[in-house]
Structure 1
Amino acid sequence: MAEPGEQLPEEVLALIFCHLPLRDRAAAARVCRAWAAAAICSAVWHDTTISCYCEREGMLPPYLSACLDHIRNLRLEFDPSKEPSRRMATELLTALAGRTPGLRGLRLECRGEKPLFDAGRDVLDAVSAICRAARELRHLDLRRLPFTLDDALVLRAARGCPELRSLFLNNGTLVGSVGPGSVLELLEACPRLCTLGLHLASLSHAALEVLAAPDRAPFALLALRCACPEDTRAPPLPNEAWAVLRRRHPGLVVEVELEPAMPAESVTRVLQPAVPVAALRLCLSGDSAGPVRFAALHYAATLRALEVRAAASAELDSALELLAERCPGLREVHCFCVVRPSVLHAFLAHCPRLRSYTLKLTRERHPWRPTRVE
């Protein structure tokens, strides 16, 4: 009887194994020599997702040791509230920092609850070690990391990862500890950076000027989260600076998230007319109709997605109808409160590119599912 590995070429086996979770790859590698060779080849590990909260404790480090050098893009999922999951994630990151200088992309995703008063120092130190070792790192996504990010981490990325193309620091922390000076050094040290996610307090007029410099590589995406007290106190960024940046990078897309911590006066400082806002997410404790109306008047040419979490009101309905009439390029609109029928009719009539919407006419049990437009 032929060995299983003789039935299929190694490249076909590798294509199959790259879709398996780690423990199944480990099981496949123990079947025979041919399967073992296919299970550890570089094609299997180039783009890898590791879920530390569902793998067997103690299995990851020994099995991965032969494969770390092949990982180029890693998405690492773990639960910071469960010690085995957390320890496995930090050990893997530390081992990765010591073994592979060829890492190109790292995305961390935390599931579950963050323990109270947990600064995440072990995880952040491991990420810092990656930034120190992976000189070819191009993409670092920390949006799903629940710990407060600081200047030291940003400066480590600036000094250790000159090839960075994208960096997301706009996570859900309630404290903004990344100062504008660190971001400015990051932009100067990483001239190819074209995608950046920040809390508003981390962005400065000087950073906009650096991005608008004549020799700057094309800048594509700026994601701004406004959710912590530091964001509410951030000085306004001049509309003229946004206008200059927009002329320098006509393809620039800006995404803005406004959370309940933002008072009305801060919202008006953030939403400048010249900002090319493509995605606007509003979850405000106060007025939402005003920002929606502002978006209708100033972002008609750029707005592609809107999300509103607010109490139902006639004012909000009117603002949504105005937005539908003035923003024909909208592809998504999601409003998590009951709206009147004329709101739904307005979006269907005036937005031919609409692909998904959440517009409920009657109260339903959550979670509300979006409707796809065929």
Structure 2
Amino acid sequence: MAEPGEQLPEEVLALIFRHLSLRDRAAAARVCRAWAAAATCSMVWHDTTISCDCEREGTLLPYLSACLDHVHNLRLEFEPAREPSRRAATELLTALAVRTPGLRSLRLECRGEKPLFDAGRDILDSVHAICRAACALRHLDLRRLPFTLDDELVLQAARGCPELRSLFLDNCTLVGSVKPDSVLELLEACPRLCALGLHLASLSGTALQVLAAPDRAPFALLALRCACPEDARAPRLPEEAWAAVRRRHPGLAVELELEPALPAESVTRVLQPAVPVAALRLSLSGDTVGPVCFAARYYGATLRALEVRAAASAELDAALELLAARCAGLREVHCFCVVRPSVLHAFRAHCPRLRSYTLKLTREPHPWLPTPVA
């Protein structure tokens, strides 16, 4: 601690203040001019998480207004079912659109109860404003928005954010409204895009051809969520298109998330041998053993994470043991049903890179927490 009358350098104060909550930062800014300067400098605000808990932080808007120009990477949390929280988030995003053309990364996360189906227009309008103004935006993550995302939003991002590197639209919604043509325009308008999250119905064979083009920048991640009725009706993507993308981008990782709404015949269209699946999340109401066996047969060289939500059975245990034997590169496995001891032994014996697992041998109260591997 500095002696009375001494003052820590601004850069040291800034390093301290960046770890404080918004309320504490605001309090520090009222101590003296030196602290105010440190609490509002760019080092404190470059990477920022803001929670729109209006009961505690609703009085901070004047303080935030002075700092918005310094925000480059923002994670914004709010409760869409609570009107004051949603209004605060909307006002903040609108202010960002006006004040911070230098915004680089935006991640929106909804907390609390799920809102009404038709809610969220105010939030989405403010995201539109961000995409129009933040021409330097590189990362936009909307996976935690429960609202229906549409073509208009994707096209706005394509036209307003040519520097995009990642865009995640694979959110929990009842309707998939992003058409494949919009994704094509996005890929053509954002040549440096290297990570994309979509609902399966939004992806087309033509989009895979665009990704496989010789002049395409390296593409690293494709996250596909299969949960909406539109996903269940999506046509099978050509194996040769997947093979071409894999040749062009040998480091490509595909994440597949299959939800209960997906019927068995759709699952067989989604799981294809040529897809380099690195993460597979299964929460199916029907057959889960078949997809696990499929992954063991075709994804042994690429699979790094597996999550299974299913009813316990001897058949599932056997499929998991087979997968453990064939997928030596697995780093995470999480099975949310009781398994027999031989399943745990198989993963510990055959997967030397395993970092954490959820494999319970007896029933326990939820939530089940993963076990780290020492």
In structure 1, the residue corresponding to 2:56 is in which secondary structure?
Answer: coil
Q: 1:118 deviation in Å?
A: 3.0
Q: 1:240 deviation in Å?
A: 1.2
Unaligned 5+ segments in structure 1 are none
Identity %: 86
Q: 1:119 deviation in Å?
A: 3.0
Measured against aligned partners, the alpha-carbon deviations of 1:8-35 in whole angstroms (never above 9, x if no partner) come to: 1100100111111111111100000100
User: Who is 2:304 aligned against?
Assistant: 304
Task: From the superposition, tell whether residues 328 and 101 of structure 1 become closer, same or farther in structure 2 (CA, over 3 Å).
Answer: same
- Asked whether the 8 Å contact 2:26–2:60 carries over to 1, the reply is no
For 1:363 and 1:46, the matched residues in 2 are separated by 45
User: Who is 2:369 aligned against?
Assistant: 369
User: Who is 1:274 aligned against?
Assistant: 274
- Asked whether the 8 Å contact 2:101–2:136 carries over to 1, the reply is yes
User: Who is 2:124 aligned against?
Assistant: 124
TM-score (norm 2): 0.98
For 1:356 and 1:131, the matched residues in 2 are separated by 37
- Asked whether the 8 Å contact 2:22–2:57 carries over to 1, the reply is no
In structure 2, the residue corresponding to 1:16 is in which secondary structure?
Answer: helix
For 1:118 and 1:32, the matched residues in 2 are separated by 47
Between stretches 3-12 and 76-85, larger displacement belongs to 3-12
Unaligned 5+ segments in structure 2 are none
User: Who is 2:316 aligned against?
Assistant: 316
User: Who is 1:244 aligned against?
Assistant: 244
User: Who is 1:203 aligned against?
Assistant: 203
Q: Does 1:215 align with 2:215?
A: yes
User: Who is 2:114 aligned against?
Assistant: 114
Measured against aligned partners, the alpha-carbon deviations of 1:218-276 in whole angstroms (never above 9, x if no partner) come to: 00000000011000000110111111100000000000000001111111111110100
Measured against aligned partners, the alpha-carbon deviations of 1:166-225 in whole angstroms (never above 9, x if no partner) come to: 000000111100111101100000000000000000000010000000000000000000
In structure 2, the residue corresponding to 1:116 is in which secondary structure?
Answer: coil
How many residue pairs match? The answer is: 373
The residue correspondences of 1:35-184 to structure 2 (distance < 5 A) are 35-53=35-53, 56=56, 58-184=58-184
Q: 1:117 deviation in Å?
A: 3.1
Measured against aligned partners, the alpha-carbon deviations of 1:56-80 in whole angstroms (never above 9, x if no partner) come to: 3542321111111111000000011
For 2:72 and 2:186, the matched residues in 1 are separated by 23
The residue correspondences of 1:22-37 to structure 2 (distance < 5 A) are 22-37=22-37
In structure 2, the residue corresponding to 1:119 is in which secondary structure?
Answer: coil
In structure 2, the residue corresponding to 1:92 is in which secondary structure?
Answer: helix
User: Who is 1:289 aligned against?
Assistant: 289
Task: From the superposition, tell whether residues 57 and 327 of structure 1 become closer, same or farther in structure 2 (CA, over 3 Å).
Answer: closer
Between stretches 133-142 and 352-361, larger displacement belongs to 352-361
AA of the residue aligned to 2:128:
S
For 1:87 and 1:260, the matched residues in 2 are separated by 33
- Asked whether the 8 Å contact 2:54–2:88 carries over to 1, the reply is no
AA of the residue aligned to 1:29:
A
AA of the residue aligned to 1:186:
L
AA of the residue aligned to 2:194:
C
- Asked whether the 8 Å contact 1:57–1:88 carries over to 2, the reply is no
For 2:88 and 2:119, the matched residues in 1 are separated by 18
AA of the residue aligned to 1:13:
L
Q: Does 1:228 align with 2:245?
A: no
AA of the residue aligned to 2:83:
E
Measured against aligned partners, the alpha-carbon deviations of 1:119-162 in whole angstroms (never above 9, x if no partner) come to: 31000000000000000000000000110000000000000000
User: Who is 2:12 aligned against?
Assistant: 12
- Asked whether the 8 Å contact 1:5–1:32 carries over to 2, the reply is no
AA of the residue aligned to 2:141:
D
In structure 2, the residue corresponding to 1:59 is in which secondary structure?
Answer: helix
User: Who is 1:339 aligned against?
Assistant: 339
For 1:153 and 1:15, the matched residues in 2 are separated by 37
For 2:248 and 2:297, the matched residues in 1 are separated by 23
User: Who is 1:348 aligned against?
Assistant: 348
Task: From the superposition, tell whether residues 264 and 98 of structure 1 become closer, same or farther in structure 2 (CA, over 3 Å).
Answer: same
RMSD of equivalent CA atoms: 1.3
In structure 2, the residue corresponding to 1:284 is in which secondary structure?
Answer: coil
Q: 1:3 deviation in Å?
A: 9.3
For 1:6 and 1:175, the matched residues in 2 are separated by 60
For 1:6 and 1:152, the matched residues in 2 are separated by 55
AA of the residue aligned to 1:23:
R
For 1:357 and 1:242, the matched residues in 2 are separated by 30
For 1:30 and 1:189, the matched residues in 2 are separated by 45
For 2:120 and 2:49, the matched residues in 1 are separated by 21
